[in-house]
Amino acid sequence: MQQSNFEKIAVYSRKSRFTGKGESVENQIEMCRQYIRAQYGETSAESAMIYEDEGFSGGNLERPQFKKMMSDARRKKFTMIVVYRLDRISRNIGDFAKLIEELSELGISFVSIKEQFDTSSPMGRAMMYIASVFSQLERETIAERIRDNMHELAKTGRWLGGTTPTGYESESTSKVTVDGKVKKACKLKIIPEEAELVKLIFDKFIETDSLTKTDTFLLQNGYLSKNGLRFSRFTIKGILTNPVYMIADKDAFYYLRENEADLFSDESEFDGFHGIMAYNRTIQKTGKANRNRPICEWIVSVGAHEGIVPGKQWVEVQERLERNCSKSYRKPRSGTALLSGLVFCGKCGDYMRPKMTTRLGKDGERIYTYLCQTKERSRLQCCDCRNINGNLLDRAVAEEITKLSVNRTELIDRLEEGKKRISAEKDRYGDELSRLKQSAEENEKKIKALVSSLGKATGSVAEEYIVKQIDELYDNGRALNCRIEEMERLAARNSLPDEEMKAICGDLAVFKYSFDQMGIEEKRLVLRELVEKIVWDGEKADIYIYASAK
Protein backbone atom coordinates (compact mmCIF):
# COMPACT_ATOMS: atom_id res chain seq x y z
CA MET A 1 0.00 0.00 0.00
CA GLN A 2 1.41 3.39 -0.98
CA GLN A 3 2.32 5.72 1.87
CA SER A 4 1.82 9.44 1.54
CA ASN A 5 4.57 10.52 3.94
CA PHE A 6 7.65 11.80 2.10
CA GLU A 7 10.73 9.63 2.66
CA LYS A 8 14.31 10.56 1.74
CA ILE A 9 15.70 7.34 0.27
CA ALA A 10 19.08 6.28 -1.14
CA VAL A 11 19.45 3.87 -4.07
CA TYR A 12 22.69 1.92 -4.46
CA SER A 13 23.68 -0.01 -7.61
CA ARG A 14 26.83 -1.91 -8.51
CA LYS A 15 28.10 -3.98 -11.40
CA SER A 16 31.50 -5.64 -11.70
CA ARG A 17 31.87 -5.00 -15.43
CA PHE A 18 31.07 -2.05 -17.67
CA THR A 19 28.21 -3.43 -19.78
CA GLY A 20 24.67 -2.52 -20.67
CA LYS A 21 23.47 -6.11 -20.63
CA GLY A 22 21.53 -7.81 -17.86
CA GLU A 23 21.35 -6.06 -14.52
CA SER A 24 23.11 -2.87 -15.59
CA VAL A 25 23.32 -0.07 -13.05
CA GLU A 26 20.63 1.79 -15.01
CA ASN A 27 18.28 -1.21 -14.84
CA GLN A 28 18.95 -1.65 -11.13
CA ILE A 29 18.20 2.02 -10.43
CA GLU A 30 14.96 1.95 -12.43
CA MET A 31 13.70 -1.16 -10.61
CA CYS A 32 14.54 0.46 -7.26
CA ARG A 33 12.63 3.62 -8.30
CA GLN A 34 9.62 1.50 -9.22
CA TYR A 35 9.69 -0.12 -5.76
CA ILE A 36 9.99 3.26 -4.00
CA ARG A 37 7.22 4.73 -6.16
CA ALA A 38 4.87 1.86 -5.21
CA GLN A 39 5.67 2.03 -1.51
CA TYR A 40 6.40 5.68 -0.77
CA GLY A 41 5.07 7.71 -3.66
CA GLU A 42 6.30 9.60 -6.72
CA THR A 43 8.07 12.34 -4.77
CA SER A 44 10.28 9.89 -2.86
CA ALA A 45 11.05 7.98 -6.08
CA GLU A 46 12.09 11.05 -8.07
CA SER A 47 14.11 12.63 -5.24
CA ALA A 48 15.98 9.42 -4.37
CA MET A 49 19.73 9.89 -3.89
CA ILE A 50 21.57 7.72 -6.43
CA TYR A 51 24.95 6.06 -5.80
CA GLU A 52 26.49 4.02 -8.64
CA ASP A 53 29.68 1.90 -8.68
CA GLU A 54 30.28 0.36 -12.08
CA GLY A 55 33.35 -1.80 -12.62
CA PHE A 56 33.82 -2.71 -8.92
CA SER A 57 33.74 -6.12 -7.24
CA GLY A 58 31.44 -7.01 -4.36
CA GLY A 59 34.32 -8.78 -2.58
CA ASN A 60 35.01 -5.75 -0.36
CA LEU A 61 33.62 -2.31 0.45
CA GLU A 62 36.45 -0.26 -1.12
CA ARG A 63 34.22 1.48 -3.67
CA PRO A 64 34.06 5.27 -4.11
CA GLN A 65 30.29 5.73 -4.36
CA PHE A 66 29.59 3.20 -1.60
CA LYS A 67 31.93 5.09 0.74
CA LYS A 68 30.25 8.38 -0.20
CA MET A 69 26.84 6.85 0.53
CA MET A 70 27.96 5.70 3.99
CA SER A 71 29.41 9.14 4.69
CA ASP A 72 26.03 10.67 3.80
CA ALA A 73 24.29 8.06 5.95
CA ARG A 74 26.29 9.15 8.98
CA ARG A 75 25.14 12.71 8.30
CA LYS A 76 21.52 11.45 8.26
CA LYS A 77 20.87 12.57 4.68
CA PHE A 78 18.40 9.69 4.14
CA THR A 79 16.37 7.20 6.17
CA MET A 80 16.51 4.12 3.93
CA ILE A 81 18.81 2.34 1.45
CA VAL A 82 17.25 0.35 -1.39
CA VAL A 83 19.18 -2.11 -3.58
CA TYR A 84 18.00 -4.38 -6.37
CA ARG A 85 19.74 -7.46 -4.98
CA LEU A 86 21.59 -8.30 -1.77
CA ASP A 87 25.00 -9.01 -3.33
CA ARG A 88 25.05 -5.54 -4.91
CA ILE A 89 26.13 -4.31 -1.47
CA SER A 90 28.60 -7.07 -0.50
CA ARG A 91 29.39 -10.76 -0.92
CA ASN A 92 31.27 -10.88 2.37
CA ILE A 93 29.28 -11.90 5.44
CA GLY A 94 31.59 -10.03 7.83
CA ASP A 95 31.35 -6.77 5.90
CA PHE A 96 27.61 -7.18 5.48
CA ALA A 97 26.97 -7.87 9.18
CA LYS A 98 28.93 -4.76 10.21
CA LEU A 99 27.05 -2.70 7.63
CA ILE A 100 23.60 -3.78 8.86
CA GLU A 101 24.69 -3.17 12.45
CA GLU A 102 25.88 0.35 11.65
CA LEU A 103 22.73 1.18 9.66
CA SER A 104 20.62 -0.07 12.56
CA GLU A 105 22.48 2.23 14.97
CA LEU A 106 21.91 5.13 12.57
CA GLY A 107 18.21 4.33 12.33
CA ILE A 108 18.43 3.62 8.58
CA SER A 109 16.43 0.76 7.04
CA PHE A 110 17.81 -1.52 4.33
CA VAL A 111 15.67 -3.02 1.57
CA SER A 112 16.64 -5.64 -1.02
CA ILE A 113 13.96 -5.93 -3.73
CA LYS A 114 14.96 -9.27 -5.26
CA GLU A 115 15.01 -11.16 -1.96
CA GLN A 116 12.16 -9.04 -0.55
CA PHE A 117 14.07 -8.28 2.65
CA ASP A 118 13.39 -5.22 4.77
CA THR A 119 15.47 -4.62 7.93
CA SER A 120 12.77 -2.44 9.42
CA SER A 121 11.29 -5.71 10.76
CA PRO A 122 13.02 -8.37 12.97
CA MET A 123 12.15 -11.17 10.51
CA GLY A 124 13.56 -9.13 7.64
CA ARG A 125 16.86 -8.68 9.49
CA ALA A 126 17.09 -12.40 10.28
CA MET A 127 16.42 -13.44 6.67
CA MET A 128 18.95 -10.88 5.45
CA TYR A 129 21.70 -12.47 7.53
CA ILE A 130 20.76 -15.95 6.29
CA ALA A 131 20.90 -14.84 2.65
CA SER A 132 24.28 -13.17 3.12
CA VAL A 133 25.64 -16.40 4.66
CA PHE A 134 24.70 -18.29 1.51
CA SER A 135 26.25 -15.54 -0.63
CA GLN A 136 29.59 -15.95 1.15
CA LEU A 137 29.27 -19.74 1.06
CA GLU A 138 29.14 -19.51 -2.73
CA ARG A 139 32.40 -17.54 -2.81
CA GLU A 140 34.14 -19.92 -0.43
CA THR A 141 32.94 -22.93 -2.43
CA ILE A 142 34.49 -21.46 -5.57
CA ALA A 143 37.76 -20.83 -3.71
CA GLU A 144 37.76 -24.40 -2.38
CA ARG A 145 37.16 -25.76 -5.88
CA ILE A 146 40.19 -23.84 -7.15
CA ARG A 147 42.31 -25.25 -4.32
CA ASP A 148 41.13 -28.79 -5.13
CA ASN A 149 42.23 -28.26 -8.73
CA MET A 150 45.62 -27.10 -7.46
CA HIS A 151 45.90 -30.34 -5.47
CA GLU A 152 45.26 -32.37 -8.62
CA LEU A 153 47.79 -30.30 -10.58
CA ALA A 154 50.38 -30.65 -7.82
CA LYS A 155 50.31 -34.41 -8.25
CA THR A 156 51.71 -33.94 -11.75
CA GLY A 157 54.44 -31.45 -10.74
CA ARG A 158 54.03 -29.59 -14.02
CA TRP A 159 54.57 -25.96 -14.91
CA LEU A 160 51.24 -24.12 -15.19
CA GLY A 161 52.52 -21.18 -17.17
CA GLY A 162 53.07 -17.55 -16.34
CA THR A 163 56.29 -15.56 -16.36
CA THR A 164 59.07 -18.11 -16.82
CA PRO A 165 61.64 -17.73 -14.01
CA THR A 166 65.22 -16.69 -14.79
CA GLY A 167 67.23 -19.82 -15.59
CA TYR A 168 64.43 -21.64 -17.40
CA GLU A 169 62.28 -21.71 -20.51
CA SER A 170 58.92 -23.41 -20.90
CA GLU A 171 58.58 -26.41 -23.21
CA SER A 172 55.61 -28.58 -24.13
CA THR A 173 55.69 -32.31 -23.41
CA SER A 174 53.27 -35.11 -24.25
CA LYS A 175 52.72 -38.77 -23.42
CA VAL A 176 50.25 -41.48 -24.34
CA THR A 177 48.02 -42.73 -21.52
CA VAL A 178 46.89 -46.33 -21.04
CA ASP A 179 43.61 -45.59 -22.80
CA GLY A 180 45.47 -44.29 -25.87
CA LYS A 181 44.92 -40.57 -25.29
CA VAL A 182 47.72 -38.08 -25.83
CA LYS A 183 48.29 -36.07 -22.65
CA LYS A 184 50.06 -32.74 -23.09
CA ALA A 185 51.63 -30.52 -20.42
CA CYS A 186 54.39 -27.96 -19.92
CA LYS A 187 57.63 -28.24 -18.01
CA LEU A 188 60.63 -26.01 -17.36
CA LYS A 189 63.85 -26.53 -19.25
CA ILE A 190 67.23 -25.25 -18.03
CA ILE A 191 68.91 -22.35 -19.87
CA PRO A 192 72.57 -22.97 -18.87
CA GLU A 193 73.86 -19.36 -18.98
CA GLU A 194 70.85 -18.06 -17.02
CA ALA A 195 71.15 -20.92 -14.51
CA GLU A 196 74.75 -19.87 -13.86
CA LEU A 197 73.56 -16.33 -13.16
CA VAL A 198 71.02 -17.67 -10.65
CA LYS A 199 73.79 -19.62 -8.90
CA LEU A 200 75.94 -16.48 -8.85
CA ILE A 201 73.15 -14.47 -7.22
CA PHE A 202 72.70 -17.09 -4.47
CA ASP A 203 76.47 -17.33 -3.91
CA LYS A 204 76.94 -13.56 -3.83
CA PHE A 205 74.11 -13.07 -1.35
CA ILE A 206 75.56 -15.67 1.03
CA GLU A 207 78.99 -14.06 0.63
CA THR A 208 77.78 -10.51 1.35
CA ASP A 209 74.72 -11.29 3.51
CA SER A 210 73.14 -8.24 1.89
CA LEU A 211 70.58 -7.59 -0.85
CA THR A 212 72.04 -4.11 -1.35
CA LYS A 213 75.60 -5.41 -1.85
CA THR A 214 74.36 -8.13 -4.19
CA ASP A 215 72.47 -5.47 -6.15
CA THR A 216 75.62 -3.30 -6.33
CA PHE A 217 77.72 -6.23 -7.55
CA LEU A 218 75.28 -7.02 -10.37
CA LEU A 219 75.07 -3.35 -11.40
CA GLN A 220 78.83 -2.84 -11.38
CA ASN A 221 79.45 -5.91 -13.49
CA GLY A 222 76.74 -5.18 -16.04
CA TYR A 223 74.52 -8.18 -15.35
CA LEU A 224 71.00 -7.85 -16.74
CA SER A 225 67.75 -9.60 -15.88
CA LYS A 226 65.90 -12.03 -18.13
CA ASN A 227 64.11 -9.05 -19.70
CA GLY A 228 67.34 -7.20 -20.44
CA LEU A 229 66.88 -4.72 -17.59
CA ARG A 230 69.10 -3.82 -14.65
CA PHE A 231 68.48 -5.88 -11.55
CA SER A 232 66.80 -4.29 -8.54
CA ARG A 233 66.65 -5.42 -4.92
CA PHE A 234 63.04 -6.46 -5.57
CA THR A 235 63.89 -8.79 -8.49
CA ILE A 236 66.91 -10.20 -6.65
CA LYS A 237 64.78 -11.06 -3.62
CA GLY A 238 62.18 -12.60 -5.95
CA ILE A 239 64.85 -14.99 -7.27
CA LEU A 240 66.25 -15.79 -3.82
CA THR A 241 62.83 -16.69 -2.40
CA ASN A 242 61.54 -18.72 -5.36
CA PRO A 243 61.46 -22.45 -4.44
CA VAL A 244 61.50 -23.43 -8.12
CA TYR A 245 65.33 -23.26 -7.96
CA MET A 246 65.64 -25.56 -4.94
CA ILE A 247 66.91 -29.04 -5.74
CA ALA A 248 64.56 -31.68 -4.30
CA ASP A 249 67.04 -33.32 -1.92
CA LYS A 250 66.80 -34.45 1.71
CA ASP A 251 67.45 -30.93 3.07
CA ALA A 252 64.59 -29.60 0.95
CA PHE A 253 62.24 -32.36 2.12
CA TYR A 254 62.92 -31.86 5.83
CA TYR A 255 62.64 -28.07 5.53
CA LEU A 256 59.27 -28.25 3.75
CA ARG A 257 57.96 -30.91 6.15
CA GLU A 258 59.08 -28.97 9.25
CA ASN A 259 57.33 -25.86 7.91
CA GLU A 260 54.16 -27.94 7.33
CA ALA A 261 53.91 -27.46 3.57
CA ASP A 262 51.15 -29.51 1.89
CA LEU A 263 53.46 -32.13 0.30
CA PHE A 264 52.27 -34.22 -2.64
CA SER A 265 55.53 -36.11 -3.15
CA ASP A 266 57.01 -38.87 -0.98
CA GLU A 267 60.46 -38.54 0.57
CA SER A 268 61.73 -41.12 -1.96
CA GLU A 269 60.88 -38.72 -4.81
CA PHE A 270 63.32 -36.10 -3.47
CA ASP A 271 66.07 -37.45 -5.69
CA GLY A 272 68.66 -34.65 -5.49
CA PHE A 273 68.16 -33.73 -9.15
CA HIS A 274 64.69 -32.36 -9.89
CA GLY A 275 63.41 -28.99 -8.65
CA ILE A 276 60.45 -27.98 -6.51
CA MET A 277 57.03 -26.85 -7.72
CA ALA A 278 55.09 -24.78 -5.19
CA TYR A 279 51.46 -23.89 -5.94
CA ASN A 280 49.25 -21.45 -3.99
CA ARG A 281 52.42 -19.55 -3.04
CA THR A 282 51.19 -15.97 -3.41
CA ILE A 283 48.24 -13.87 -2.24
CA GLN A 284 46.91 -12.06 -5.26
CA LYS A 285 44.62 -9.07 -4.78
CA THR A 286 43.51 -6.80 -7.57
CA GLY A 287 45.35 -3.49 -7.50
CA LYS A 288 47.94 -4.67 -5.02
CA ALA A 289 51.35 -6.24 -5.33
CA ASN A 290 51.42 -10.03 -4.79
CA ARG A 291 52.47 -11.18 -1.32
CA ASN A 292 53.98 -14.55 -0.41
CA ARG A 293 51.87 -16.91 1.68
CA PRO A 294 53.44 -18.74 4.65
CA ILE A 295 54.98 -22.08 3.68
CA CYS A 296 52.28 -23.98 5.57
CA GLU A 297 49.80 -22.85 2.88
CA TRP A 298 51.94 -23.97 -0.08
CA ILE A 299 50.92 -26.99 -2.14
CA VAL A 300 54.25 -28.62 -3.03
CA SER A 301 55.49 -31.42 -5.25
CA VAL A 302 58.69 -32.45 -6.95
CA GLY A 303 58.67 -30.88 -10.41
CA ALA A 304 59.58 -32.34 -13.78
CA HIS A 305 62.38 -29.74 -14.15
CA GLU A 306 66.00 -29.81 -13.05
CA GLY A 307 66.81 -27.90 -9.86
CA ILE A 308 69.62 -25.32 -9.69
CA VAL A 309 70.41 -24.57 -6.03
CA PRO A 310 71.05 -27.28 -3.38
CA GLY A 311 68.37 -27.47 -0.70
CA LYS A 312 70.84 -26.63 2.07
CA GLN A 313 71.91 -23.41 0.31
CA TRP A 314 68.33 -22.35 -0.50
CA VAL A 315 67.28 -22.90 3.13
CA GLU A 316 70.28 -20.92 4.39
CA VAL A 317 69.31 -17.99 2.15
CA GLN A 318 65.75 -18.00 3.54
CA GLU A 319 67.09 -17.99 7.11
CA ARG A 320 69.41 -15.08 6.32
CA LEU A 321 66.63 -13.08 4.66
CA GLU A 322 64.37 -13.64 7.65
CA ARG A 323 67.13 -12.72 10.09
CA ASN A 324 67.91 -9.54 8.15
CA CYS A 325 64.27 -8.39 8.20
CA SER A 326 64.81 -6.48 11.44
CA LYS A 327 67.60 -4.46 9.84
CA SER A 328 66.04 -4.30 6.38
CA TYR A 329 66.44 -1.40 3.99
CA ARG A 330 64.70 1.75 5.16
CA LYS A 331 64.03 4.84 3.14
CA PRO A 332 65.97 7.85 4.44
CA ARG A 333 64.08 10.43 6.41
CA SER A 334 62.89 13.28 4.21
CA GLY A 335 61.16 15.26 6.96
CA THR A 336 63.80 17.99 6.73
CA ALA A 337 64.38 18.03 2.97
CA LEU A 338 62.14 20.64 1.37
CA LEU A 339 62.60 19.47 -2.23
CA SER A 340 62.10 15.74 -1.66
CA GLY A 341 60.58 14.23 -4.81
CA LEU A 342 61.49 17.19 -7.06
CA VAL A 343 65.25 16.78 -7.61
CA PHE A 344 66.56 14.70 -10.56
CA CYS A 345 70.04 13.80 -11.78
CA GLY A 346 71.11 15.68 -14.91
CA LYS A 347 73.50 12.88 -15.94
CA CYS A 348 71.36 9.73 -15.76
CA GLY A 349 67.89 11.15 -15.17
CA ASP A 350 67.26 9.15 -11.99
CA TYR A 351 65.61 10.54 -8.86
CA MET A 352 67.92 12.15 -6.26
CA ARG A 353 66.91 11.26 -2.72
CA PRO A 354 67.76 13.20 0.44
CA LYS A 355 70.40 11.62 2.68
CA MET A 356 71.26 12.84 6.17
CA THR A 357 74.92 13.18 7.17
CA THR A 358 76.56 13.33 10.60
CA ARG A 359 77.97 16.82 9.91
CA LEU A 360 76.53 19.99 11.41
CA GLY A 361 76.45 23.47 9.86
CA LYS A 362 77.58 26.67 11.55
CA ASP A 363 74.12 27.17 13.01
CA GLY A 364 74.04 23.62 14.38
CA GLU A 365 71.69 22.41 11.62
CA ARG A 366 72.19 18.79 10.46
CA ILE A 367 73.57 18.80 6.90
CA TYR A 368 71.91 16.61 4.29
CA THR A 369 72.61 16.01 0.61
CA TYR A 370 70.64 15.00 -2.45
CA LEU A 371 72.11 11.78 -3.83
CA CYS A 372 71.47 10.09 -7.20
CA GLN A 373 69.94 6.65 -6.64
CA THR A 374 71.72 5.05 -9.61
CA LYS A 375 75.03 6.40 -8.37
CA GLU A 376 74.40 5.02 -4.89
CA ARG A 377 73.24 1.58 -6.01
CA SER A 378 76.08 1.10 -8.51
CA ARG A 379 78.75 2.60 -6.23
CA LEU A 380 79.71 5.22 -8.90
CA GLN A 381 79.94 2.66 -11.71
CA CYS A 382 76.80 3.72 -13.64
CA CYS A 383 76.66 7.40 -12.63
CA ASP A 384 79.19 9.73 -10.99
CA CYS A 385 77.10 12.88 -10.54
CA ARG A 386 78.31 14.95 -7.60
CA ASN A 387 76.04 15.16 -4.57
CA ILE A 388 74.56 18.55 -3.81
CA ASN A 389 74.25 20.16 -0.39
CA GLY A 390 70.53 19.88 0.35
CA ASN A 391 70.44 22.71 2.89
CA LEU A 392 71.91 25.17 0.35
CA LEU A 393 69.76 23.95 -2.55
CA ASP A 394 66.54 24.17 -0.52
CA ARG A 395 67.33 27.71 0.58
CA ALA A 396 68.36 28.81 -2.92
CA VAL A 397 65.19 27.42 -4.53
CA ALA A 398 62.99 28.94 -1.80
CA GLU A 399 64.66 32.32 -2.37
CA GLU A 400 64.03 32.13 -6.12
CA ILE A 401 60.39 31.19 -5.57
CA THR A 402 59.73 34.08 -3.18
CA LYS A 403 61.10 36.49 -5.83
CA LEU A 404 58.05 35.63 -7.94
CA SER A 405 55.89 37.64 -5.52
CA VAL A 406 57.33 40.84 -7.04
CA ASN A 407 55.00 40.25 -9.98
CA ARG A 408 51.60 39.56 -8.39
CA THR A 409 49.86 38.56 -11.62
CA GLU A 410 52.60 36.17 -12.68
CA LEU A 411 52.70 34.38 -9.32
CA ILE A 412 48.93 33.96 -9.22
CA ASP A 413 48.97 32.63 -12.80
CA ARG A 414 51.70 30.13 -12.00
CA LEU A 415 50.08 28.96 -8.77
CA GLU A 416 46.74 28.47 -10.48
CA GLU A 417 48.34 26.76 -13.47
CA GLY A 418 50.30 24.40 -11.22
CA LYS A 419 47.20 23.56 -9.17
CA LYS A 420 45.18 23.05 -12.34
CA ARG A 421 47.77 20.66 -13.77
CA ILE A 422 48.07 18.66 -10.56
CA SER A 423 44.27 18.45 -10.30
CA ALA A 424 43.96 17.38 -13.94
CA GLU A 425 46.70 14.80 -13.47
CA LYS A 426 45.01 13.38 -10.36
CA ASP A 427 41.67 13.10 -12.20
CA ARG A 428 43.36 11.44 -15.15
CA TYR A 429 45.32 9.07 -12.91
CA GLY A 430 42.16 8.28 -10.91
CA ASP A 431 40.22 7.39 -14.07
CA GLU A 432 43.12 5.32 -15.36
CA LEU A 433 43.46 3.60 -11.97
CA SER A 434 39.78 2.60 -11.97
CA ARG A 435 40.10 1.23 -15.49
CA LEU A 436 43.26 -0.72 -14.63
CA LYS A 437 41.73 -2.21 -11.47
CA GLN A 438 38.69 -3.32 -13.43
CA SER A 439 40.95 -4.92 -16.08
CA ALA A 440 43.03 -6.66 -13.41
CA GLU A 441 39.91 -8.01 -11.73
CA GLU A 442 38.51 -9.35 -15.00
CA ASN A 443 41.91 -10.85 -15.82
CA GLU A 444 41.98 -12.64 -12.45
CA LYS A 445 38.48 -14.04 -13.00
CA LYS A 446 39.53 -15.42 -16.38
CA ILE A 447 42.54 -17.14 -14.81
CA LYS A 448 40.39 -18.72 -12.08
CA ALA A 449 37.88 -19.92 -14.67
CA LEU A 450 40.65 -21.48 -16.77
CA VAL A 451 42.30 -23.12 -13.73
CA SER A 452 38.91 -24.58 -12.83
CA SER A 453 38.41 -25.99 -16.33
CA LEU A 454 42.00 -27.25 -16.61
CA GLY A 455 41.38 -30.17 -14.28
CA LYS A 456 38.48 -31.34 -16.44
CA ALA A 457 40.49 -30.96 -19.67
CA THR A 458 43.45 -33.09 -18.59
CA GLY A 459 44.47 -35.37 -21.47
CA SER A 460 42.28 -33.62 -24.03
CA VAL A 461 43.28 -31.50 -27.01
CA ALA A 462 42.04 -28.42 -25.13
CA GLU A 463 44.58 -28.80 -22.32
CA GLU A 464 47.55 -27.22 -24.13
CA TYR A 465 45.40 -24.32 -25.31
CA ILE A 466 44.14 -23.66 -21.76
CA VAL A 467 47.67 -23.70 -20.31
CA LYS A 468 48.79 -21.24 -22.97
CA GLN A 469 45.86 -18.96 -22.17
CA ILE A 470 46.70 -19.06 -18.43
CA ASP A 471 50.31 -18.19 -19.31
CA GLU A 472 49.27 -15.14 -21.31
CA LEU A 473 46.75 -13.96 -18.71
CA TYR A 474 49.29 -14.34 -15.91
CA ASP A 475 51.80 -12.14 -17.75
CA ASN A 476 49.06 -9.63 -18.43
CA GLY A 477 48.10 -9.60 -14.74
CA ARG A 478 51.66 -8.87 -13.61
CA ALA A 479 51.89 -5.99 -16.06
CA LEU A 480 48.55 -4.59 -14.87
CA ASN A 481 49.57 -4.75 -11.20
CA CYS A 482 52.84 -2.91 -11.92
CA ARG A 483 50.92 -0.20 -13.75
CA ILE A 484 48.37 0.03 -10.90
CA GLU A 485 51.16 0.61 -8.37
CA GLU A 486 52.59 3.38 -10.54
CA MET A 487 49.17 5.04 -10.96
CA GLU A 488 48.48 4.87 -7.21
CA ARG A 489 51.76 6.64 -6.52
CA LEU A 490 51.00 9.37 -9.06
CA ALA A 491 47.39 9.78 -7.92
CA ALA A 492 48.55 10.29 -4.32
CA ARG A 493 50.33 13.53 -5.17
CA ASN A 494 48.84 16.34 -3.08
CA SER A 495 48.12 19.94 -4.04
CA LEU A 496 47.66 23.12 -2.03
CA PRO A 497 44.25 23.37 -0.31
CA ASP A 498 41.95 26.02 -1.80
CA GLU A 499 41.80 27.99 1.46
CA GLU A 500 45.59 28.32 1.64
CA MET A 501 45.77 29.13 -2.07
CA LYS A 502 43.31 32.02 -1.59
CA ALA A 503 45.18 33.26 1.46
CA ILE A 504 48.48 33.35 -0.42
CA CYS A 505 47.00 35.07 -3.47
CA GLY A 506 45.19 37.57 -1.26
CA ASP A 507 48.29 38.72 0.57
CA LEU A 508 51.16 38.58 -1.90
CA ALA A 509 52.72 41.68 -0.41
CA VAL A 510 53.96 39.56 2.50
CA PHE A 511 54.37 36.30 0.54
CA LYS A 512 58.04 35.97 1.44
CA TYR A 513 57.31 36.42 5.13
CA SER A 514 54.37 33.98 4.96
CA PHE A 515 56.44 31.37 3.12
CA ASP A 516 59.24 31.62 5.70
CA GLN A 517 56.72 31.03 8.51
CA MET A 518 55.23 27.90 6.91
CA GLY A 519 56.04 24.39 8.06
CA ILE A 520 57.91 21.91 5.84
CA GLU A 521 54.77 20.24 4.47
CA GLU A 522 53.08 23.58 3.68
CA LYS A 523 56.20 24.78 1.88
CA ARG A 524 56.32 21.54 -0.11
CA LEU A 525 52.74 21.98 -1.25
CA VAL A 526 53.43 25.55 -2.40
CA LEU A 527 56.56 24.43 -4.26
CA ARG A 528 54.70 21.60 -5.99
CA GLU A 529 52.20 24.13 -7.28
CA LEU A 530 55.04 26.13 -8.85
CA VAL A 531 57.96 23.77 -9.56
CA GLU A 532 57.74 20.92 -12.06
CA LYS A 533 61.25 19.58 -11.33
CA ILE A 534 64.81 20.57 -10.44
CA VAL A 535 67.71 19.09 -12.44
CA TRP A 536 71.22 18.98 -10.94
CA ASP A 537 74.08 18.17 -13.35
CA GLY A 538 76.90 18.26 -10.81
CA GLU A 539 77.66 21.95 -11.34
CA LYS A 540 74.39 23.85 -11.47
CA ALA A 541 70.70 23.33 -10.72
CA ASP A 542 67.99 24.22 -13.23
CA ILE A 543 64.53 24.98 -11.84
CA TYR A 544 61.64 24.13 -14.17
CA ILE A 545 58.59 26.21 -13.19
CA TYR A 546 55.08 25.55 -14.48
CA ALA A 547 54.40 28.03 -17.26
CA SER A 548 51.16 30.00 -17.28
CA ALA A 549 48.58 28.70 -19.76
CA LYS A 550 47.67 32.30 -20.70
Taking only the tens place, the pLDDT of each residue in 96-132 is 777 877 888 888 988 888 877 777 666 666 666 665 5
The CATH code that applies to domain 9-143 is 3.40.50.1390
Q: Is the pLDDT of residue 362 over 60?
A: yes
Are the C-beta atoms of 128 and 119 separated by less than 8 Å?
Answer: yes
- Domain 168-327 class, CATH top level: alpha beta
> For 231-257, what is each residue's pLDDT tens digit?
888 889 889 999 999 999 999 999 999
**Among the listed residues 145, 139, 146, the one whose alpha carbon sits nearest the alpha carbon of residue 91:** 139
Q: Is the pLDDT of residue 195 over 90?
A: yes
Rg value, the chain, Cα: 29
Strands (E), 236-336: 262-263, 274-279, 282-283, 291-292, 299-306
Strand 366-372: give its sheet, edge to edge. 352-360, 366-372, 388-389
pLDDT > 90 in the chain, percent: 19
**What is residue 467's three-state secondary structure?**
helix
Q: Give the number of other Cβ atoms within 10 Å of residue 196's Cβ.
A: 12
**Listed range (212-221, 227-236, 514-523) with the worst mean pLDDT:** 514-523
**Among the listed residues 349, 342, 452, 329, the one whose alpha carbon sits nearest the alpha carbon of residue 401:** 342
Q: Is the pLDDT of residue 330 over 70?
A: no
The vertex-12 CA angle with 6 and 14, nearest 5°, equals: 160
**Among the listed residues 147, 141, 82, the one whose alpha carbon sits nearest the alpha carbon of residue 115:** 82
* Higher pLDDT pick, 244 / 299: 244
| CA atoms of 444 and 52, how far apart (whole Å) | 23
Are the C-beta atoms of 450 and 469 separated by less than 8 Å?
Answer: yes
**What is residue 410's three-state secondary structure?**
helix
pLDDT > 70 in the chain, percent: 64
**What is residue 418's three-state secondary structure?**
helix
Domains 9-143 and 168-327 share a fold: no
Strands (E), 205-328: 262-263, 274-279, 282-283, 291-292, 299-306
Q: Is the pLDDT of residue 496 over 50?
A: no
The residue extents of the domains of the chain are 9-143, 168-327, 386-545
The pTM score is 0.47
User: What are the residues facing 9 on neighbouring strands?
Assistant: 80
Are the C-beta atoms of 225 and 235 separated by less than 8 Å?
Answer: yes
